[in-house]
Amino acid sequence: MRMRPTLSWTPAEDLPPGSTDPEPVAAALRTGGVLVLSGAGISTESGIPDYRGEGGSLGRHTPMTYQDFIADAQARRRYWARSHLGWRTFGRARPNSGHRAVAAFGRHGLLSGVITQNVDGLHQAGGSRDVVELHGSLERVVCLSCGALSPRRTLALRLAEANSGFAPVAAGINPDGDADLTDAQVGDFRVLPCTDCGGALKPDVVFFGEAVPPQRVAHCRELVHAATSLLVLGSSLTVMSGLRFVRLAAQLGRPVLIVNRDPTRGDTLAATRVALPLGAALTTVADRLGVPVDGRAEA
């Protein structure tokens, strides 16, 4: 079924204002059993822009849709050229204090799980375990014909060899690892097929307009049912893939707490929205709980 991706959302004027007091988040974590749902905003302090915040990539960039990728060989060429260049920058990103705080909360038994809408792997790099990657991961590549999975790093080496000298200067990098390049910069970039069957390759991520695998959604729903509360970190909740879990938590009577500087589509369902930078807010919470955050000096 063809889906129209939701790229924007206009906040209602009567949304409750954000708070600058992270104590409700600390109180929820003291109880334990908190399920984290994170979005692109948690990775901005690692140098990866978000989609919709201040300076968000949607202001200059329209993400590749699943339908365009499947139907158009030239669209796949543009995507892989831009993604190949972006991968180099993406691969240098390091977890920030927000990622490390989440990992610290997990180590101290305060979380029931972590669901991330991000594809950057920074939660795991920051020390979190058993992270559910709702939208997949750029670390893997899948063949659209035979379904074979392979490491992204292997494809990156193949693409580098096939496109020797390809090093245009990108105007920016996006949350999905896609670099901003013009068609002229893309040029005749060579796209490589699956080594098993010769089929078209796609990063193992959920594109805009593509459905999240149903078994993954079912697992996330189970996590919401098992949680005592839901803590949303750095997501505008514009797309339904994340908002549905906020709605489910509210239906189940689980408190929803949001840390996001800008209003979100889930604010009316939340007990509070803390309008503070994520790294500082979560570090403050960790201090109040007496939870050490590893590597804080690097933040």
Distance CA 255, CA 272 (A): 9
Q: Can you say how many angstroms the Cα of residue 20 is from the centroid of all Cα atoms in its chain?
A: 24
Asked about 135 being catalytic, the answer comes back as: yes
Tally Cβ neighbours within 10 Å of residue 197. Answer: 13
Distance CA 181, CA 245 (A): 35
The pair of three-digit structure tokens given for residue 111, joined into one six-digit string: 């979380």
Closest by CA to 82, choosing from 144, 44, 138, is: 138
Which of 84, 99, 135, 225 is the catalytic position?
135
| CB-count exposure of residue 99 (10 Å: 0-12, 13-18, 19+) | buried
Residue 31 makes CB contacts below 8 A (sequence gap 6+) with 228, 229
Beta strands per DSSP E along the chain: 34-38, 111-116, 131-133, 136-143, 149-151, 201-205, 229-233, 256-259, 272-274
Distance CA 136, CA 122 (A): 13
Residue 91 makes CB contacts below 8 A (sequence gap 6+) with none
Q: Can you say how many angstroms the Cα of residue 224 is from the centroid of all Cα atoms in its chain?
A: 18
Which residues are designated catalytic? 135
